[in-house]
Structures are given as C-alpha cells and as structure tokens.
C-alpha cells in the first residue's frame, strides 16, 4: 500500500533546454530581453505562467502588468507546444530505477506544475508514461504544488487507499508540497532551484536516481 510520486521537470527529465528556448522566443516576440540558461533554470517549477512572469521580471526589472504576462504566456504555450521534446533528455539512472520499481510492482505517479497535456507529450516522447498509473499536471485541479491536494490527489489516483507515500522532486516547491501533505520528500541534487539543495530541508538528497531504492527503504521503515 505504498506509492511514490515524482515531479517531472528537473527530476525525471531535463526539460530546461526546450522550456528556456520557448520562453526566450516568447520574450523576444513581446519585445523583451532574453534570459540566460542558468537564470532560466531557476524559474522552472512553479508552473508555466509563473515561469513567464519571472522571465518578464528579469527583463523589465519590475512586476509586469497582467496584459503583458497574458500575451507572453500565450506565445510561450504556442512555442513550447510546437517543440517540447526536441532537446529534453532523461537524467542518468531514471529509466533503470523506474524499471526496477515497475518490476517490483510499486505504484508510481507524476505530480507536476507543468501543463497537463504537455506533460503527457513529454512522457510519451521519452517512453515514460507506461511506468505511471496517474499523471496530474498543474492545470488539472484548482490547486497545484505546493498545495497538499495536488500531491494527495495524485497519490490517491495512483493507488486508492494507499498507506504510505513519498515525494521525489528537485525544488523548494516540491519540499513544501510534501510537508503540506505530511509525507517524506527526497530531492535530487541536480534539477532546477534558486537555493542550494542543502537548504531545502528534505528528508534525503540523492545525486542519481539509482540511489532512490535505498532511500525509500529507509523512509518506509522510519517510525
């Protein structure tokens, strides 16, 4: 009666190259300056609209008006929808770990603030969707991470009546969502964040997804 819930961007897949390219195309179309890759990676995790808003703020240096955010967000969604998997790749150890969990019959789900349809596109393009019993993107529910409902609904759809769940992510948003849900959280040392991984306050930090099985065993057995 255990489930594992994964974040997508920065945890399973390095989607930043496609995301930042689409963001910069949208910023240019709105007459704004582009963002560097290292800066743009720190904007990922709060959802597409928040990504666009942060990109605009980096360009104009102030909180943007809603009309500019709306227009740039629409452009971003068009561009990202056209090429959401051209440069995205799995992180090392991801497929091996998912295969192991699938062989063991461990139910898995994906809880991401990424738009739902694009999340499915990315998972299908990289042959990952078959591992997951549920996928809930950031526009499916009224709430999204770090709200508890996003994780709890994903866990319930993954395995109705589950007893234990663990969140696997890469950012402060994932850690906050897990804390709000009352479940442990493991973060990867790679991924996208604006603070050092040691400052996130996770229950465990791993540098390769192949380290996850041992951490799960430890967390399952915690009192």
User: CATH code for 16-82?
Assistant: 1.10.150
Which pLDDT value is given to residue 133?
A: 98
Q: Which of 7, 18, 174, 203 is catalytic?
A: 7
The confidence score (pLDDT) of residue 124 equals: 97
170 part of the active site: no
Identify whether 152 is preceded by a cis peptide bond (ω within 30 of 0): no
Q: What is the mean pLDDT of residues 170-181?
A: 97
Task: Give ranges for CATH 3.40.50.1000 in the chain.
Answer: 2-14+88-220
Could you tell me where in the chain the CATH 1.10.150 domains are found?
16-82
pTM comes to 0.94
Confidence (pLDDT) at 221: 87
Q: What is the CATH number of domain 2-14+88-220?
A: 3.40.50.1000
Round to whole Å and give the CA distance between 91 and 210: 11
Query: What pLDDT is recorded for position 122?
Result: 96
Tens-digit pLDDT profile for residues 81-114? 999 999 999 999 999 999 999 999 999 999 999 9
pLDDT in tens, 20-72: 999 999 999 999 999 999 999 999 988 899 999 999 999 888 888 899 999 99
Q: Answer yes or no: are the C-beta atoms of 30 and 70 closer than 8 Å.
A: no
Q: What is the pLDDT of residue 60?
A: 87
pLDDT digits (tens, 9 = 90+) for 114-158: 999 999 999 999 999 999 999 999 999 999 999 999 999 999 999
In DSSP terms, 89 is beta-bridged to 14
């Amino acid at each position: 009666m255990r489930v594992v819930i994964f974040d997508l961007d920065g945890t399973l897949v390095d989607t930043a190259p496609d995301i930042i390219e689409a963001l910069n195309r949208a910023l240019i179309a709105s007459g704004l300056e582009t963002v560097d890759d290292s800066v743009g990676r720190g904007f990922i995790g709060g959802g597409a609209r928040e990504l666009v808003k942060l990109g605009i703020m980096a360009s104009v240096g102030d909180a943007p008006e809603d009309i500019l955010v709306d227009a740039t967000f629409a452009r971003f969604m068009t561009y990202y929808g056209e090429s959401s998997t051209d440069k995205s790749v799995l992180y090392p150890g991801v497929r091996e770990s998912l295969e192991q969990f699938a062989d063991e019959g461990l139910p898995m789900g994906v809880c991401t603030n990424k738009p739902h349809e694009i999340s499915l596109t990315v998972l299908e393009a990289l042959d990952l969707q078959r591992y997951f019993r549920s996928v809930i993107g950031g526009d499916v529910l009224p709430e999204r991470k770090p709200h508890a409902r996003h994780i709890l609904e994903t866990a319930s759809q993954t395995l109705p009546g589950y007893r234990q769940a663990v969140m696997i992510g890469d950012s402060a948003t994932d850690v906050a969502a897990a804390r709000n849900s009352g479940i442990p959280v493991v973060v990867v040392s790679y991924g996208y964040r604006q603070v050092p991984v040691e400052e996130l306050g996770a229950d465990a930090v791993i540098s390769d997804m192949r380290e996850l099985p041992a951490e799960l065993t430890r967390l399952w057995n915690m009192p």
